[in-house]
Structure 1
């Protein structure tokens, strides 16, 4: 794996005073983002103004949009995907409790409205043993299908031009790619980028010590590179297929998701917090939304 030099780019604070921000999505001039422990989805114009657009008692996470513009929102703790109507009301879009036991996590919604949803696979916050898990597809009519198995904490996802879905496997230390079939199925699984050795342990603490990169939220740019939030090492990495790290941007704090947006697609938004454990984040309001300007604009989904 090649290693890009840390970049001297200026980070600015867009928002602060949140609990734990995740799953940023840029759409129609605004950034949508979930705040786990205030149970709110908020939007911002990137200049400091905010609006609460959804309240999700089951804890919001992954976000995406149907072809008609309605938002889909993951409700983590009750294993549901919700849809937000034009009036801002939420209702159930799909119930994944029959196929998923762990908390739901990030989500990617494609141009046809098919949602790919990851899950924890084990009780991360409660100290459970690390277990690999599945990726679930929710079709526009709410049908639920398991489309991939044996994933090491499937987290952020991107859909690259050409129909390649890449998922971050946080506890496997890699990005894994699939080709997407016309019917939404996934095939031709391969490693898109591997960061060091995959930990061979069920002990989360040991795995954390072994991971060279813990890929969390991700987004893609117009050169086919992927920006990766490294959840353990206070940075974002710009990675090319094969694993070359073209650039590293230190954040000085934990970074758990990233998204390219802004008027020209060259503002990289970072979801930052001092750490990720729930017992540390829930009682305080130390999470921030940061931004840094980069050279190559956004491409693909989300």
Structure 2
């Protein structure tokens, strides 16, 4: 486990919190074309714009009912921003930890809509998956496996069969992550939750983070932040997984790491990594990269699927795409 990557990310976020204004002026966001095939996904004239800024560490973007919901992991808030850039705070102390220490990664993280119109979110502080209803009331969904508390759920996605899958690294255990005395599980798992049953389907990754399915649901993608690598697993009935393969091992270079990711309707991965967001074919070929002046943590397709929002440190960015992204199973 390369803890140095996590430390580097934390230092970068703290520095950007202070200096984002100057950084943004000197390092404008841009789309870097690596392969001509990128032109079919992003128009050469497309520009990345900053929609809102002034946050602590943005994560977990979800387009829900006409606005982008997003998390502030270190700020312990859930917020929403509309297309015009108007920001509203939805929930304070959204990580669910009473009296949280300031600046720690204990806020909310990934979000996905459920079939009843509510939103499920990963609460790093409370160490659970929670439900947010239309009145912004928060209730727990799952927080333990065989009596042992989860680490700090990070990102989540529904499979085509309606099962919920989520990653559970120790980032929210702020007294040493894996060495934190509060850690109860011996591994950092990828979980499947179906029919009230929680199952650890992957338990051999160091820091499982981003998670997504291919458009046909036949392949599961998981990023391991510790080694900046994205893996693919064939998915069979009942959530059984086949042997994993490496999609891409990203080279070090630039701040950030293999964090959140999404998939477009052609099967390409849009994945955070060192230096920005890479657009990657299912075979691991990099078609292009979106470079930002801040560390990109996650992303979400919105509206008709052709607007990409990116949560990056203190800001939220937006880019119009030619290809549509796969929207969450129960998107509204």
Give the TM bin, normalised by the shorter chain.
0.7 to 0.9
Deviations 1:35-68 (A, max 9, x none): 1133222222222123333342332112112212
Aligned to 1:76: 124
TM-score of the superposition, structure 1-length normalised?
A: 0.78
Aligned to 1:296: 323
1:60 aligns with 2:108: yes
Return closer, same or farther for 1:139/1:40 CA change in 2, 3 Å cut-off. Answer: farther
Return closer, same or farther for 1:260/1:122 CA change in 2, 3 Å cut-off. Answer: closer
1:4 aligns with 2:34: yes
1:167 aligns with 2:216: no
Aligned to 2:284: 243
Conservation of the 8 A alpha-carbon contact between 2:52 and 2:316: yes
Aligned to 1:21: 58
Q: Which runs of 5+ in 2 are unaligned?
A: 1-32, 39-43, 98-106, 180-185
Aligned to 1:146: 200
- State the distance in 2 between where 1:258 and 1:60 align: 15
Aligned to 2:259: 216
**Which structure's residues are more often strand, by fraction?**
1
Return closer, same or farther for 1:99/1:111 CA change in 2, 3 Å cut-off. Answer: farther
CA RMSD of aligned residues (A): 3.0
- State the distance in 2 between where 1:187 and 1:216 align: 23
Aligned length: 271
Aligned to 1:180: 235
Aligned to 2:270: 227
**Which structure's residues are more often helix, by fraction?**
2
After TM superposition, the structure 1 = structure 2 runs for residues 32-181 of structure 1, keeping only pairs within 5 Å, are 32-55=69-92, 56=94, 57-58=96-97, 59-96=107-144, 98-99=147-148, 102-121=151-170, 126=175, 133-139=188-194, 141=196, 143-163=197-217, 164-181=219-236
- Deviation, 1:116, is 1.5
Deviations 1:227-285 (A, max 9, x none): 1112x32x111011222110112112211111222x33222211112xxxxxxxxxxxx
Deviations 1:60-118 (A, max 9, x none): 11211221221111111232111122332111111136455532212223355422221
Range with bigger deviation, 243-252 or 3-12 = 3-12
- State the distance in 2 between where 1:82 and 1:95 align: 9
- State the distance in 1 between where 2:187 and 2:244 align: 16
The SS at the match of 2:260 is strand
- Deviation, 1:216, is 0.7
- State the distance in 1 between where 2:82 and 2:168 align: 29
Return closer, same or farther for 1:211/1:179 CA change in 2, 3 Å cut-off. Answer: farther
Conservation of the 8 A alpha-carbon contact between 1:54 and 1:90: no
TM-score of the superposition, structure 2-length normalised?
A: 0.72
The SS at the match of 1:219 is strand
Conservation of the 8 A alpha-carbon contact between 2:170 and 2:177: no
Aligned to 2:296: 255
